[in-house]
């Protein structure tokens, strides 16, 4: 079968068996080729066209695609024992839990492993309930915590929630960054505050420096748990191992996923302080998962943490992020009619546009230049840039220059977008 035929058949199968609107939307945005192989920062389609991956699977590919050490560790585990018996001790899971206790801040210690971000959030919410005996949870407007029922209740965008009511009771949402509103919402019925240290899908929103520490203090005073959702910000993305490390904050429960599987395996976890875990220690089968903590995924997780440290990827993210932010900000200054703001930390960068319609135009211009980007799920006005942490200077320059060309073109037709 030639590539043209394979592409049209794949798109036709999306239309017939997956979702016709999804297929139309992808084509409309210029994504009408089929991904085939990937390595490092580059994805190749069936025709051999190359794309610089600046979307990074929404933050999955921090190590890039197919990091050789992660692939090797997973292959070795695959040849030995991919899935767990669930009754004998599972060494990769034990080793990964030890590593997570080492790299998470403070006394975060016990890990429960899952297969996705939303499952990590579900687990964290259940743990907060059982530990406190309370049900109220304070979250933030435009937060994104996933789309299963508990996580969706914490997510702060009505469009994703309204069709599924009733969701869990007791969730309130306050504006992100507004400490007064947060304090007002915290009362004696509150089990937990759940928060992304930097809102990802909400549009890469970096809060004031004292926001997270003040929430931590308030939680301490009011005896409320702090859940930090680091599914997107964790594992070096923002230039620190975890984004809470920028603020010196230790949450009671921390969620992680996306990059944890090294871009090779799906893997997530929530990590809790010992005193929070008490009830699960007395009843270890209260929360379980068949595939959670499987040896294949844990082998990927252990190697991911090792690679992050050995290859200095976190420092690289901080340095490359500064360069990229600086270059994009300089570019943006020349086009105030198109770009409102460039912001972020490390390699979690958002480009806020003046109008929603500009995003789609930029995406198709950039894909034509061989660059994959997309806007954030809760805020279509913000283009997110989350490349592999080891992206090199040459590729960064190509991305910034292509962005500048696309923005310049958008400027010419901004009235019509
Ligand atoms: C902060 C945060 N939490 C949770 C999730 C949900 O993760 P998943 O899509 O793996 O369920 C996401 C996904 O974007 C996220 O960014």
Kindly tell me if the per-residue pLDDT of 68 is higher than 90.
Answer: yes
Strand 42-45 and strand 50-53: the pairing is: antiparallel
User: How confident is the model at residue 345, as a pLDDT?
Assistant: 98
**228: pLDDT confidence band, cut at 50, 70 and 90?**
very high
Structure confidence at residue 417 as a pLDDT band (50, 70, 90)? confident
pLDDT score of 28 more than 90? no
> What pLDDT score was predicted for residue 90?
97
Q: Do the domains spanning 33-66+312-416 and 68-310 agree at the CATH topology level?
A: no
pLDDT at site 416: 82
Predicted structure pTM score: 0.97
Quick one: how many helices (H) and strands (E) in the chain? 15, 15
Domain boundaries, the chain: 33-66+312-416, 68-310
Q: Which residues are catalytic?
A: 144, 229, 258
Mean of the pLDDT values across residues 96-105? 98
Q: Which atom of ligand 1 is nearest to the CA of 118?
A: 11
Which of 55, 117, 243 is the best mutation target for the ligand 1 pocket, counting ligand atoms within 8 Å of the beta carbon and taking the most?
117
Pocket of ligand 1 (CB under 6 A): 58, 116-118, 121, 144-146, 196, 200-201, 229, 231-232, 257
CATH fold group of domain 68-310 = 3.40.640
In whole angstroms, what is the distance from residue 113 CA to residue 119 CA? 9
Per-residue model confidence (pLDDT) at position 21: 95
Task: Check residue 27 and give its pLDDT.
Answer: 86
Per-residue pLDDT tens for 264-285? 999 999 999 999 999 999 999 9
Closest C-alpha to 351, from 29, 55, 41:
55
CA 398 to CA 405: how far, in whole Å?
11
The mean pLDDT of the chain is 96
Strands 268-272, 110-114: pairing kind: antiparallel
Integer Cα distance of 362 and 383 in angstroms: 9
The C-alpha torsion from 322 through 327 and 332 to 333, rounded to 10°, is 100
Give CA torsion, residues 168, 170, 176, 182, to 10 deg. Answer: -170
Please report the pLDDT score of residue 414 as a whole number.
85
Calpha distance 361→417 (Å, rounded): 8
* Ligand 1 centroid from CA 376, angstroms: 12
Which residues, at least 6 apart from 208, have a Cβ–Cβ distance to it below 8 Å?
Answer: 177
Q: Which atom of ligand 1 is nearest to the CA of 151?
A: 4
For the record, the structure tokens of 11 come out as 């798109």
97-to-268, 304, 365, 391, 392 alpha-carbon distances in Å: 11, 13, 43, 28, 31
Atom 10 (ligand 1): residue with closest C-alpha? 117
Looking at 3.90.1150.10, 3.40.50.2300, 3.90.209.20, 3.40.1280.10, the CATH number of the domain 33-66+312-416 comes to 3.90.1150.10
**Distances in whole angstroms, Cα of residue 303 to Cα of each of 95, 178, 237, 296, 395:** 11, 38, 17, 11, 25
Stretch 345-363: mean pLDDT: 95
227 phi and psi, to 5 degrees? -105, 120
Q: Whose CA is nearest to atom 16 of ligand 1?
A: 232
pLDDT at 119 over 80: yes
Mean pLDDT within 360-373: 93
| Pairwise CA distance, residues 398 & 52, whole Å | 9
Q: How far is the CA of 150 from the centre of ligand 1 (A)?
A: 13
pLDDT for residue 307? 98
Percentage of residues of the chain with pLDDT beyond 70: 100
Residue 202: Cβ within 10 Å count? 23
CB-CB contact of 134 with 191 (8 Å): yes
- How far does residue 331's CA lie from ligand 1's centre (Å)? 30
């Amino acid at each position: 079968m030639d590539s043209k035929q394979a592409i049209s058949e794949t798109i036709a199968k999306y239309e017939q068996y997956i979702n016709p609107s999804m297929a139309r939307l992808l084509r409309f945005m210029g994504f009408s080729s089929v991904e085939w192989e990937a390595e490092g920062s580059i994805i190749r389609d069936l025709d051999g066209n190359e794309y610089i991956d600046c979307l990074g699977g929404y933050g999955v590919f921090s190590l890039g695609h197919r990091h050789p050490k992660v692939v090797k560790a997973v292959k070795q585990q695959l040849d030995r024992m991919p899935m767990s018996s669930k009754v004998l001790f599972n060494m990769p899971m034990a080793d990964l839990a030890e590593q997570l206790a080492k790299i998470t801040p403070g006394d975060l210690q016990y890990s429960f492993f899952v297969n996705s971000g939303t499952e990590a959030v579900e687990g964290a919410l259940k743990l907060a309930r059982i530990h406190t005996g309370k049900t109220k949870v304070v979250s933030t407007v435009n937060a994104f915590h996933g789309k299963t029922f508990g996580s969706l209740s914490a997510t702060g965008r009505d469009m994703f929630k309204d069709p599924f009511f009733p969701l869990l009771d007791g969730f309130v949402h306050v504006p992100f960054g507004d400490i007064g509103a947060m304090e007002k919402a915290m009362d004696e019925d509150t089990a937990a505050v759940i928060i992304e240290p930097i809102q990802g899908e909400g549009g890469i929103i970096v809060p004031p420096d004292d926001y997270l520490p003040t929430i931590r203090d308030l939680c301490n005073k009011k005896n409320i748990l702090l859940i930090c959702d680091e599914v997107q910000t964790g594992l070096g993305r923002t230039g620190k191992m975890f984004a809470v490390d920028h603020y010196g904050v230790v949450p009671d429960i921390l969620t992680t996923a996306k990059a944890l599987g090294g871009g090779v395996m799906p893997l997530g976890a929530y990590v809790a302080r010992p005193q929070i875990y008490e009830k699960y220690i007395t009843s270890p089968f209260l929360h379980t998962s068949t595939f959670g903590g499987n040896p294949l995924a844990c082998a990927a997780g252990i190697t991911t943490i090792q690679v992050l440290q050995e290859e200095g990827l976190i420092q690289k993210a901080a340095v490359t992020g500064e360069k990229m932010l600086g270059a994009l900000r300089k570019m943006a200054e020349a086009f105030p009619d198109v770009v409102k703001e460039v912001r972020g930390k490390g390699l979690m960068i958002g480009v806020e546009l003046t109008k929603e319609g500009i995003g789609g135009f930029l995406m198709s211009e950039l894909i034509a230049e061989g660059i994959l980007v997309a806007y954030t799920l809760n805020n279509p006005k913000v283009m997110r840039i989350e490349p592999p942490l080891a992206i090199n200077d040459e590729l960064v320059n190509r991305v910034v220059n292509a962005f500048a060309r696309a923005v310049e073109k958008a400027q010419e037709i901004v009235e019509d977008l």
